Structure 1
């Protein structure tokens, strides 16, 4: 039997993840008292009609959370196999979600969500460390969450905890607020001033050839990809699971799009992490 423990930060999508698992045929129970966890797991295992089960555990268990480490150790010692899915998101995202829903964080005794999140992270740190899958929903659409869950729990495909987003943008529209690394490619020749290229973008072959024909473009791409590939595993060691590499030019249509596409092509060959490409400003003003 496949047994999944779904946990994580309040507001990060734990309930949604449980609903998705339920749609995938899992027998699901939410907010089960931790003292009943081994009994529930055994009951599921003894039922021949149930081959997949999931249980939601979160901060609402209060002081019982202190017992969970021991419960998991006992289950592991008894030979019971389980997987832990940890739902996470940035504090900024979680605070925004709480403000939008006007709900009170379960640990925000003084009314400040930020205080509650800090305490919650500390109490759930051991579960995140033990997690088989860490899913950061800060920038994740619901359909992307469904797709990721399907890949892990239906298709049994290997899930990569680190997600690298290569993002092109235009400086005139502001630097992306969620960028971890920002690179400026405005030193490269600008296709905007070439009449036949002005209305095209870095997704078009003609613009790509124009930009990459510049010697500095190739040198920059080599150095950039080398540095990013060096940084990613070190970020993983530090527990980071989302990295946004932002590449900007003036308008976000030509040079930044070209370099972002080239970097994406290089990074996606690595099987240790998942890579996405986004062009924030490519359609603005068109």
Structure 2
């Protein structure tokens, strides 16, 4: 089965790294095409390769309508997946400062911050079109490869995926989440000496939180909201929903709720994946 990936996102978010990883996964990668020829190039190349990845970024706006170019590709090749890489503005600034590279929009802006803000605004419609959004803020190349591989395989294998992330608010909210639920108002096992070194996957922590008033009710309400959203997303052609569950450090409460929620959706026969982003940091 043919695979076509349109790789896009913010400058400095990791597109070059991701393109290299896609090549390692067997994709034939083409970078920085003018938008007008994206459809034609895909039509010419795809019959001759099994996997094609086309990298499009803000530079394409100098040559035409990027949004229309991507829409044309999706219309002709419905199996195409748009992968959008994002990260926080602060991280983008740090990365450009570290590499000392110029931002592609530096000539249209008076500062790196202004250039980044301009790019975020220009790429807004493309981000909304994305099938997969990946927040690279805390991902090293190995983790990015793992996430790309998992998400692309998931897209091939299943009609709809529920991806659940546990995280700590003090490390930042996952930018790729569709819904963020806060569980900081439940008692924190961190303050119980015996439970502090454990995490939300350990039976002792589970047992503690199971007996906290309101945990089951909150899980049921989250599940109800998410299932409603899934039904609406399906009508829009979406194939994945990303749910983030956050506590203070991302080690106890958020991990417990994420695990319990994942078990619920597996029972409902959804393809469910889970990621404990900050469990080793909390």
Q: TM-score, normalised by structure 1?
A: 0.71
1:171 corresponds in structure 2 to none
Correspondent of 1:87 among 70, 85, 88: 85
Note the 1:70-219 alignment, pairs <5 A.
70-75=68-73, 82-108=80-106, 109-153=108-152, 156-158=156-158, 164-167=164-167, 176-179=170-173, 181=182, 183-186=184-187, 191-192=192-193, 197=194, 201-202=198-199, 204-206=202-204, 208-209=206-207, 211-212=208-209, 215=211, 217=212, 219=213
Q: Does 1:22 align with 2:19?
A: no
Q: Does 1:43 align with 2:44?
A: yes
Indicate conservation of the 8 Å contact 1:191/1:198, yes or no.
yes
Moved over 6 A (4+): 159-162, 233-237
Distance in 2 between residues matched to 1:142 and 1:84, nearest whole Å = 20
Per-residue deviation, 1:44: 0.7
Q: CA RMSD in A?
A: 3.8
Indicate conservation of the 8 Å contact 1:134/1:161, yes or no.
no
Count of residue pairs the alignment pairs up = 258
Q: TM-score, normalised by structure 2?
A: 0.72
Gaps of 5+ in 1: 169-174
Per-residue deviation, 1:125: 2.1
Per-residue deviation, 1:204: 4.9
Q: 1:260 to 1:101 in 2, by over 3 A?
A: same
Distance in 1 between residues matched to 2:57 and 2:127, nearest whole Å = 12
Q: 1:242 to 1:138 in 2, by over 3 A?
A: farther
Per-residue deviation, 1:60: 1.3
Distance in 1 between residues matched to 2:145 and 2:190, nearest whole Å = 41
Give the SS at the match of 2:120. Answer: helix
Per-residue deviation, 1:112: 2.3
Per-residue deviation, 1:56: 0.9
Q: Does 1:5 align with 2:9?
A: no
Give the SS at the match of 1:279. Answer: coil
Gaps of 5+ in 2: 174-179
Per-residue deviation, 1:224: 3.7
Per-residue deviation, 1:83: 2.6
Per-residue deviation, 1:187: 7.4
Indicate conservation of the 8 Å contact 1:7/1:14, yes or no.
yes
Q: Tell me which moved more, 38-47 or 181-190.
A: 181-190
Per-residue deviation, 1:113: 2.5
Deviations 1:185-225 (A, max 9, x none): 45779532xxxx3785356544654x348x5x1x1322443
Indicate conservation of the 8 Å contact 2:189/2:252, yes or no.
no
Deviations 1:166-195 (A, max 9, x none): 236xxxxxx604146461445779532xxx
Q: 1:18 to 1:226 in 2, by over 3 A?
A: same
2:176 corresponds in structure 1 to none
